[in-house]
Structure 1
C-alpha cells in the first residue's frame, strides 16, 4: 500500500516570491532574507520525505468558485492543471504553471472520501490559484511532481467547523494509506493564521491578532486538536481578522498528521501577517 511520507502545513502568502525572488536585493524588505532562509529550511523537510506525488489542500480565492455555487469540499481529477490567474501575475508576479495531475489517485480518493461520509464535488476543468502555486514555490519550486488538488470552502458562509475539517484530514490519511502500490505520497496544505483583507486592520505593521497567532502556532506544533476544538469558534476566527477562516485548512492538515508533535515547526512575524511552517513525518515511512 501507499505511504504518507510527509504532511506539511503552511501559509500561502503571495508576496513571498515577489519579495525574495523578483525584488532586487537592495530594495527588499528587512524581513525578506530571514523569510527566505526559513522557507529553504522548510523545503528540505519535503525533500527528505522523497515523495512521488503531492496531494495539495488549498482554497479558491473567488477565481473560479463563487457565492452562487461554492462547494464545501472539491477534488480535481485531470491529467493537467493550468495554474495562476491574471491578477496573481499582475499583483504578485507569480509565474504560470502547467502541472501534471494523477487521475487515478484523484478518482480513488474521491470514492474513498464519499464512502467515508464526505460529499465531495469533483472538477475536470479546475484552474489552480496561489493557494496551490505559492506552496509549490515554497517547497517544490521545480513543480516536477504530479498533484492532486483538494479545495475547501473557507470563504463563503456557512462554513464547516474545525471538527469537520479535522475529520476530513483523518479521512484523507486513511484513504491514502489504502491506495494500492508502493508510492510515497506527501500531503501539503496551505491556509493562514489571523488575516484581514480589505478591512481596517489590513495595513497594520503586524498581524491583526498576534496573540491568536501565537496560540495557534503552539496548538499546531503540539498537535493539540483538543485545545483547538475548545477554543476556536466562528466568533473567535472573526475577531482575529475577517479572513482568519483560512486557519481551518491548517486544522485539516493536523487531521492528516495526527495528534503527535510536529517534527518541524517554525514561524516568522512579518509585515501584516504571521507566517508558520509545520512538518510531520508519519511513523514507519522513512
Structure 2
C-alpha cells in the first residue's frame, strides 16, 4: 500500500529561482532566506519520497485566458520546464509517475472532483522553485513528481473547503494504490504578497503566522476563510495559500511539526515554509 508520509509547504517566489540559478544564494540579501531551508535539504536526504505530489499554480505560462482548469493533474512520463518569457530555468526536466497519477485521476474523478487530465504539460516556477529549495541543484531530481495544478489566477477560484476535501480524497486514493510507495504532498505558493496596483509589496507577517498556526492545529477553520479575506489581508496573490490546504487535508486530522520557517522579504513576498508529518496512529 502506498502511504503519505509527509507534507511540505513552501513559497515559490520566482526571484528565489533566479537567485539559485545565478548562484546568488550567499548574497547578503538572500542568505538569511536560504538558511531557513538548510534543515529541509538535510531532512529530505533521509526522508526522500518515491513520489511527490506537488500542488502548484501555473502563472499563465502553460495555461492562459483560453484554458484555465480549476484542478489539473499531469499523468505523463515527464514534464519539460516552460519558458516564462526569459527562457526556461536551467533545471532538470521533471520525471512523472504515470501509474500512480492515472490511479489518482481515476479515483478523484470518481470521487466527484472534476480534474483535467494532462498527457502533455510544461511546468513553471510554481513547481520548479520548491524542488530547487528542497533539493538544490542536482543533475536529476531525486524523486518522481505528480504535478497538480490549481487555478488561483482567474476568478472563480476553488473554495478552501473544496481544497481541503481534495487533500482528504488524495489521501484515500494514495492508500488504495497497490504498490509500496513513500508519497509526500507539497503545497506551494504564498504567503502574503501583491505584485500590482496601489498595494504592491503588501506583506502581512502576523496574518501569515496565524495562518500557519491554524493550518497545523485547526485546518477546519481555514476551509471557511473567504477569498475576500485573503485579498484584503494577504494581498491579491495571497489566495495561493488555498493550495496549502490540499497538502494539509492529505495528512489526516493531527500532524507533527518537523520544521517551520518565515522570512520577510524575498523580492516583495513573505516566505513561509513547513514540514509536517501525520501524527502516528491518526486515521
Report the TM-score, using the length of structure 2 for normalisation: 0.89
Among 154, 161, 165, the residue aligned to 1:156: 154
Following TM superposition, by how much is the alpha carbon of 1:15 offset from its aligned partner in structure 2, in angstroms?
Answer: 1.7
Following TM superposition, by how much is the alpha carbon of 1:134 offset from its aligned partner in structure 2, in angstroms?
Answer: 0.3
Runs of 4+ more than 6 Å apart: none
Deviations 1:65-121 (A, max 9, x none): 12332111100111111014242548xxx3243221111111100001012110111
Following TM superposition, by how much is the alpha carbon of 1:62 offset from its aligned partner in structure 2, in angstroms?
Answer: 0.6
Q: Which residue of 1 is the match for residue 177 of structure 2? A: 179
Distance in 2, Cα, partners of 1:18 & 1:123:
27
Report the TM-score, using the length of structure 1 for normalisation: 0.88
Distance in 2, Cα, partners of 1:223 & 1:264:
15
Q: Which has the higher helix share?
A: 1
Deviations 1:115-157 (A, max 9, x none): 2110111111100011110011011233132211110111111
Instruction: Answer whether contact 1:88 1:130 (CA < 8 A) is retained.
Output: no
Distance in 2, Cα, partners of 1:74 & 1:20:
28
Q: Which residue of 1 is the match for residue 199 of structure 2? A: 201
Among 38, 63, 68, the residue aligned to 2:36: 38
Among 223, 235, 244, the residue aligned to 1:241: 235
Distance in 2, Cα, partners of 1:63 & 1:72:
15
CA-based RMSD of the aligned residues comes to 2.2
Q: Which residue of 1 is the match for residue 45 of structure 2? A: 47
Distance in 1, Cα, partners of 2:92 & 2:48:
22
Distance in 2, Cα, partners of 1:270 & 1:259:
32
Instruction: Answer whether contact 1:193 1:216 (CA < 8 A) is retained.
Output: no
State the number of aligned residues: 275
Deviations 1:183-209 (A, max 9, x none): 11122221212111222232x4xx433
Q: Does 1:279 align with 2:272?
A: no
- Equivalent positions of 1:27-176 (< 5 A) are 28-30=27-29, 32-87=30-85, 89=87, 94-141=89-136, 142=138, 143-176=141-174
Distance in 1, Cα, partners of 2:87 & 2:199:
25
Q: Which residue of 1 is the match for residue 258 of structure 2? A: 263
Distance in 2, Cα, partners of 1:29 & 1:195:
22
Which secondary structure does the structure 1 equivalent of 2:66 belong to? coil
Distance in 1, Cα, partners of 2:258 & 2:271:
17
Unaligned runs of 5+ in 1: none
Which secondary structure does the structure 1 equivalent of 2:250 belong to? helix
Instruction: Answer whether contact 2:61 2:82 (CA < 8 A) is retained.
Output: no
Unaligned runs of 5+ in 2: none
Which secondary structure does the structure 2 equivalent of 1:194 belong to? coil
Which secondary structure does the structure 2 equivalent of 1:211 belong to? helix
Pair 1:178–1:226, CA change in 2 (3 A) = same
Distance in 2, Cα, partners of 1:6 & 1:233:
27
Following TM superposition, by how much is the alpha carbon of 1:283 offset from its aligned partner in structure 2, in angstroms?
Answer: 4.6
Following TM superposition, by how much is the alpha carbon of 1:23 offset from its aligned partner in structure 2, in angstroms?
Answer: 4.9
